[in-house]
Amino acid sequence: MTAQGAGVPPSVNDLSSFWMPFTANRQFKAAPRMLVGAQGVHYTTDDGRQVLDGTAGLWCCNAGHGHPAIVQAIQAQAAELDYAPAFQMGHPKAFALANRLAGMLPGDLDHVFFTNSGSESADTALKIALAYHRMRGEGSRTRLIGRERGYHGVNFGGISVGGITNNRRFFGTLLTGVDHLPHTHRPEKNAFSRGQPAHGAELADDLERLVALHGAETIAAVIVEPMAGSTGVLMPPKGYLERLRALCDRHGILLIFDEVITGFGRLGSSFACEHFGVLPDIVTTAKGLTSGTVPMGAVVTRKGIYDAFMSGPETAIELFHGYTYSAHPLACAAALATLDVYQSEDLFGRCAALAPYWEERVHGLKGKPHVIDLRNMGLIAGIELEPRPAKPTERAFEAFLKCYEAGLMIRTTGDIIALSPPLTIDREHIDTIFDTLATVLDILD
Residues 29 and 94 in one domain: no
Single out the residue of 346, 353, 350, 371 nearest to residue 442, CA to CA. Answer: 371
Residues 401 and 413 in one domain: yes
What is residue 4's predicted lDDT score, i.e. its pLDDT? 53
Residues 131 and 250 in one domain: yes
Structural domain ending residue among the three candidates 311, 344, 377: 344
Structural domain ending residue among the three candidates 304, 329, 344: 344
Residues 357 and 414 in one domain: yes
Which CATH number characterizes residue 359's domain? 3.90.1150.10
Query: What domain range includes position 129?
Result: 71-344
Q: Give mean pLDDT, residues 369-388.
A: 98
Whether residue 194 lies inside any domain: the answer is yes
Q: Give mean pLDDT, residues 134-151.
A: 97
Whether residue 6 lies inside any domain: the answer is no
Separation CA 51–CA 407 (nearest Å) = 4
Residues 390 and 367 in one domain: yes
Within 8 A by CB and 6+ apart from 115, the residues are: 121, 124, 286, 296, 297, 298, 299, 323, 326
Whether residue 101 lies inside any domain: the answer is yes
Residues 278 and 314 in one domain: yes
pLDDT value at 411 more than 50: yes
What single-letter DSSP state applies at residue 130? H
Instruction: Give percent of the chain with pLDDT exceeding 90.
Output: 97
pLDDT value at 2 more than 70: no
pLDDT value at 177 more than 70: yes
Whether residue 292 lies inside any domain: the answer is yes
DSSP string, 332-396: HHHHHHHHHHHHHTTHHHHHHHHHHHHHHHHHTTTTSTTEEEEEEETTEEEEEEPPBTTBTTHHH
Which CATH number characterizes residue 164's domain? 3.40.640.10
Neighbours of 320 (CB within 10 A): 7
Could you give the number of structural domains in the chain? 2
pLDDT value at 143 more than 60: yes
pLDDT value at 6 more than 60: no
How far lies 350's CA from each of 105, 149, 265, 426, in Å? 19, 30, 9, 9
pLDDT band at 1 (very low <50, low <70, confident <90, very high): very low
Residues 89 and 214 in one domain: yes
Whether residue 137 lies inside any domain: the answer is yes
For residue range 259-270, what is the model confidence (pLDDT) as tens digits? 999 999 999 999
Residues 264 and 392 in one domain: no
Single out the residue of 41, 81, 48 nearest to residue 65, CA to CA. Answer: 41
Kindly tell me the number of DSSP H helices and DSSP E strands found in the chain. Answer: 16, 15
Residues 107 and 234 in one domain: yes
**Residues 110, 298 contacting (CB under 8 angstroms):** no
Whether residue 2 lies inside any domain: the answer is no
Residues 316 and 353 in one domain: no
Residues 323 and 354 in one domain: no
Residues 340 and 323 in one domain: yes
* Predicted structure pTM score: 0.96
Neighbours of 48 (CB within 10 A): 8
Whether residue 17 lies inside any domain: the answer is no
Structural domain ending residue among the three candidates 296, 325, 344: 344
pLDDT value at 8 more than 70: no
Q: Give mean pLDDT, residues 341-356.
A: 98
Whether residue 222 lies inside any domain: the answer is yes
